[in-house]
Amino acid sequence: MKRSRPGFFTFFWQWLKNPLRTAGVVPSSVELAEAMVSELPDGTRRVIELGGGTGAITRELLAAGIRASQLLVLELNEELHSHLHARFPGVHVVLGDARSLPELASSSGFLDDGPADAIVSGLGLLTMPPSLQREIIAAAFGCLRADGVFVQFTYGPAAPVADSVMRQLKLRVHRGEFVLRNVPPATVYVYSRHVPASGHDSNGHD
């Protein structure tokens, strides 16, 4: 039986009010949420979610065994933030801008136990200028452990993070699952810090 999508009309109404600040027209599908969660490294315990929306990915993270106290969900929209706060008691649900993630995660107490193992993002990075992408992703990696991953989905045909941003932040990427059963179809990408090969210095030079 197909699971319903709680908050469908809440999410759709927010998109109608401000389509540029809400990445999709409808909440992410169960299949997309599962594809995102499947990219978490083995042993992942602490996760940050950017752009919680109505909680489709939040729900899947909790179902996968992430404890509520070990999950921080950031949401910029006040009404969606209120929805998430009511729906997921025990989760660190924070209102704010992803560019301020280190400060917000610290002030909420989430980083008291150390950096996150992974960050999952529902933000519309593909529509953002590279300068804004860089600010958001740099802030995200500032909250991740050295070998942590940043998992992002996108509706476009290309990787959501600009090549220039990847070079500036010394990131590498691999393409995950293409989820046809999503509206619209989406692709998952996983970003991590580039680890220089032996014999290279920290700037990646020979």
Lowest mean pLDDT among 11-20, 99-108, 112-121, 184-193: 11-20
pLDDT of residue 151: 98
74-110 residue pLDDT tens: 999 999 999 999 999 999 999 999 999 999 999 999 9
126-177 residue pLDDT tens: 989 999 999 999 999 999 999 999 999 998 788 999 999 999 999 999 999 9
Domains delineated in the chain: 24-193 (3.40.50.150)
pLDDT of residue 25: 43
Going by C-alpha positions, the residue among 186, 163, 166 that lies closest to residue 39 is 186
User: Is 153 in contact with 28 (CB distance < 8 Å)?
Assistant: yes
Omega cis (within 30) before 184: yes
pLDDT of residue 129: 96
pTM for the whole thing?
A: 0.83
pLDDT(3) > 50: no
Q: What is the DSSP letter of 3?
A: P
Return d(Cα 70, Cα 137) in angstroms, integer. 21
pLDDT of residue 189: 97
5-53 residue pLDDT tens: 444 444 444 444 444 444 444 456 889 999 999 999 999 999 999 999 9
Q: How many CA atoms lie within 13 A of 136 on its CB side?
A: 27
Going by C-alpha positions, the residue among 125, 127, 154 that lies closest to residue 28 is 154
CB neighbourhood size of 94 (10 A): 21
Residue with tokens 């989820």: 179
Give the pairing of strands 116-121 and 47-50. parallel
